[in-house]
Structure 1
Amino acid sequence: MLKFDRELFVQALNEGALGKRGELERVVDEISGKGFSNIFLIGSGGTVAMMYPFEYIFKSYSALPVRAEIAAELLVTDNRQLTSKSVCIFASVTGTTKETVAAAQFCREKGATTIGLVGIPGTPLAEAVDYAITFGREKHAFDVFYLQLQILTTRFLQQNGEFPQYEQFAAELAALPQGMVAAMEEFDARAEAFAIKHRETDYHMLVGAGNLWGNTYSYAMCILEEMQWIKSKSIHAAEFFHGTLELVEKDTSVILFKGEDATRPLVERVERFAENITKELFIIDTKDYALPGISEEFRKLVDLNVNWALTSRISAYLERERNHPLEIRRYYRKMEY
C-alpha cells in the first residue's frame, strides 16, 4: 500500500494506546473515586471533531452530563456548568495548539480536573494538565487518540455502573489494530480508484451521523479543505433533507460514511435519495469489513476507528494524484490571524 508501514501502524496503536491501558484506567479510577459532576471533551479543529463520537457514546450509554466543546469558544463564554467538579479531556498531536493549551489552563484555573492526550511529551499541553498521556510520536496520532478515548470513555462508564462489559471490550480492543490493517488492505484499491477519478473534482459533499459524524466533519475540514484545498461540505444525515438535498445534481460527488450504530438508517435514507440523482455516489461502510476478534455488540463502538483508517487510504492517493503533499499549508501556522 502506498505510504503505509503495517508494522509501524500496529506498533503505534499497541504502544501508544493499548499499552497505556493500565495508565488510562488508573487516571479514570482515581478521578471517579474522588467524584465529579460532568465531563467536557475539548479540542480544536480535528481534535474537537475527534471528541464528537465520544460525546455520542456517552449519550447513548450514560446519564452522565458530557459535552464536546470547541476550545476557543469555551474561552470566551461563561459556561456555568464548568466548575471545580468538572473533568476536562483535551487532545493535541503536537501539544502546541494555542487554543487548546489556553483552554486547558483556563479549566485548571477553574479547579477542574484536566486530562491531556498528547503526542509529544514536555510540550505546553502536556505541562498544562493534571494527567498527561503521551506516547512520543505524531505519526498515526489520531488512530492512537481514538483508542485512548475508547478506553477512557468505557472505563468512566464502567465506574459509573453503566458498562459492565468493559473488561471484555477492553480485551477485544487488542485485536482491532490488525483488523484495521486488514480493512485498509481490502479497501485500498477502491481508495486509489476514487483518487484517480476525482483528482480534479473541486467539490464534495460528505454525509454521516452518530459515531461517524465527527469523522465526517473532520475529513471534510481537515483533509479535503486544509490539506488538499478542495471545497467540501459536511452534512449530518439527519439534516441532509433540510436544505442540502437541493444542491445534488447528476455529477455531484456525495461521500457517505455508513457506521453501525442506531443512526445507520439516517444515512441509508440519504443513500436511497442520492443513488437516484447522482452518478458520483461513494459509500464507505464499516459493515463490509470482518474485524476478527471484535464481538458484534462492540462493532458500533469501533466503527469510527475503521472509518478513519479507511479514509486515510484515500488521503494517501489524493496526495499522489493531485501532487499536493498533505503537509503543505498556505495560512495555518504560517501567519498571524
Structure 2
Amino acid sequence: MLNFDEARFMRIQSGAVALRQRIDAVVAQCLAAGAQNIFFLGTGGAAILMHPAAQLLQRRSRFPAFVDITAELQLVQSVHLTDKSIVVLPSLSGTTKESVALLSRIKEVGATVITLVGHQETPLGKGGDHVFVNFAEDDTSCESFYLQSLFIALAVLKHRGELAESERILVELERLPGLLLEVKRSYEKEAAGFAQKLAASDYHIITGAGNVWPQAWYYGMCILEEMQWIRTRPVHASDFFHGTLELVDKDVSLVLFKGEDSARPLADRVEKFAPGYTDKLTVLDAADFELPGISPDVRTLVSPIVLATALERVSAHLEVIRNHPLTTRRYYKRVAY
C-alpha cells in the first residue's frame, strides 16, 4: 500500500481496543457514583468523531447524552453540565486550546472528566480525572477515537442494562484492527481511482446520513479543506433536499457516504436522485467491505470506522496526485487566531 506502515496501524488500533476494559470499569464507576448524563465535547475534528457514540446513546439509551461546541460552552453555560455529568474530552495533541480552556470550568462545576489523548505529558493528558492515552497521528486517529468513544457508549448501555448480548458485541469489536487492515488492502486500487476523482474538481458536495454523516462532515472539513485546500460543502443527506440540491449540475462533484444503520434510506434517496443531474457521483458504501466474523448489528455500529479507514487510503493517493502533503498548512497552528 502507498505510503503506509501496516505494523504502525495495527499497533495504534490495537492500542485503542486494549483500552476497552479500563473504559468499561471507569464508566461503571461513574454510573455507580450517580452520574446523570454524559457530554461528548472536544474541538474541531476530534469533536466530530464523538458524534456517532453520542448518537448511539441518544437513540438507544434513556441516559441523557449531549454534544456541544466547546468554545461556546466557555461563553454560554449549560444547565445540564453539573457535578453529576461525565465529560468526554478528546484531543490528539492533548493541547487543543479551546478544550484546555474549558477544562478548568468543568473542574469548577465538579463534573467527572474523561480525556482521550495521544500524549500523556500534556494539559489534557494530565488534567482528566480518567486519562486514556493511545498515541496516534492524523492518519490513524479517526479509527482510534471512534473506537474509544464507541466503547464509552457501549459501556453506558451495558451497565444500564440497555445492551443485549454485550459480551458478544465487545468480543467482535476486538477483531476490528485486523479487519480494518484488510479493508485497506482490498480498497487500495479503488482508493486511487477515488482520489483521481477528488483531484479532478476544486469543489465537492459531500453527504451522508445516520452514524456516517459525521464522517462526511469530518472528511470534507478536516481532510479536503484543511489538508488539501479543496472547497467542500458537507451536508446531511436529509438537508441535501432542502437547499443544496440546487447547486447540483452535470459538472458538480457529489460524494455520498453510505452506512448500514436504519438511516440508510436517506442516502439511498440521494443516490437515486443524483445520476439524473450530475455526471460526477461517487459513492463509498460501508456495506461493500467484507468484515468476516462481524454480525449485522455490529456492522451498523462500525460503519463510520470502516469508511474512515478506507478514506485514509484515498487521502494517501490524493496528496501524491496533487503534490500537496497532508501535513502542509498555511494558517492552522502557524499564525495567531
The alpha carbon displacement at 1:127 in A equals 1.5
The alpha carbon displacement at 1:182 in A equals 1.5
* Match runs of 1:220-259 below 5 Å: 220-259=220-259
The alpha carbon displacement at 1:336 in A equals 1.0
Q: Distance in 2 between matches of 1:221 and 1:150?
A: 22
* Match runs of 1:14-25 below 5 Å: 14=14, 16-25=15-24
Q: How many residues are paired up?
A: 336
Letter in 2 for 1:287: A
1:303 is matched with which residue? 303
RMSD between aligned residues: 1.2
2:50 is matched with which residue? 51
* Match runs of 1:44-83 below 5 Å: 44-83=43-82
Q: Distance in 1 between matches of 2:156 and 2:167?
A: 12
Q: Distance in 2 between matches of 1:154 and 1:169?
A: 9
Q: Distance in 2 between matches of 1:97 and 1:116?
A: 12
The alpha carbon displacement at 1:198 in A equals 3.5
**Is 1:94–2:93 an aligned residue pair?**
yes
Q: Distance in 2 between matches of 1:100 and 1:255?
A: 31
* Match runs of 1:20-169 below 5 Å: 20-138=19-137, 140-169=140-169
Moved over 4 A (4+): none
C-alpha spacing 1:136/1:195, structure 2 compared with 1 (3 Å): closer
* TM-superposition CA deviations, 1:222-255 (whole Å, max 9, x none): 0000000000010101111100001100011111
The alpha carbon displacement at 1:135 in A equals 2.2
Q: Does structure 1 conserve the Cα–Cα contact (< 8 Å) formed by 2:83 and 2:109?
A: yes
**Is 1:175–2:180 an aligned residue pair?**
no
* Match runs of 1:293-332 below 5 Å: 293-332=293-332
3-state SS, counterpart of residue 290 of structure 1: coil
Greater shift after overlay, 138-147 or 198-207?
A: 138-147
Letter in 1 for 2:176: L
Q: Does structure 2 conserve the Cα–Cα contact (< 8 Å) formed by 1:24 and 1:152?
A: yes
The alpha carbon displacement at 1:43 in A equals 1.1
Q: Does structure 1 conserve the Cα–Cα contact (< 8 Å) formed by 2:48 and 2:214?
A: yes
Q: Distance in 1 between matches of 2:82 and 2:114?
A: 15
1:289 is matched with which residue? 289
Q: Distance in 1 between matches of 2:212 and 2:128?
A: 28
Q: Does structure 1 conserve the Cα–Cα contact (< 8 Å) formed by 2:205 and 2:255?
A: yes
| TM-score, structure 1 normalization | 0.97
Letter in 1 for 2:303: D
2:203 is matched with which residue? 203
Q: Distance in 1 between matches of 2:76 and 2:169?
A: 37
**Is 1:271–2:271 an aligned residue pair?**
yes
User: Unaligned 5+ residue runs, structure 2?
Assistant: none
Q: Distance in 1 between matches of 2:262 and 2:230?
A: 31
Q: Distance in 1 between matches of 2:213 and 2:101?
A: 26
Letter in 1 for 2:74: L
The alpha carbon displacement at 1:137 in A equals 4.0
User: Unaligned 5+ residue runs, structure 1?
Assistant: none
Q: Distance in 2 between matches of 1:278 and 1:89?
A: 41
1:9 is matched with which residue? 9
Q: Does structure 2 conserve the Cα–Cα contact (< 8 Å) formed by 1:175 and 1:292?
A: no
3-state SS, counterpart of residue 257 of structure 1: strand
3-state SS, counterpart of residue 308 of structure 2: helix
Q: Distance in 2 between matches of 1:198 and 1:12?
A: 28
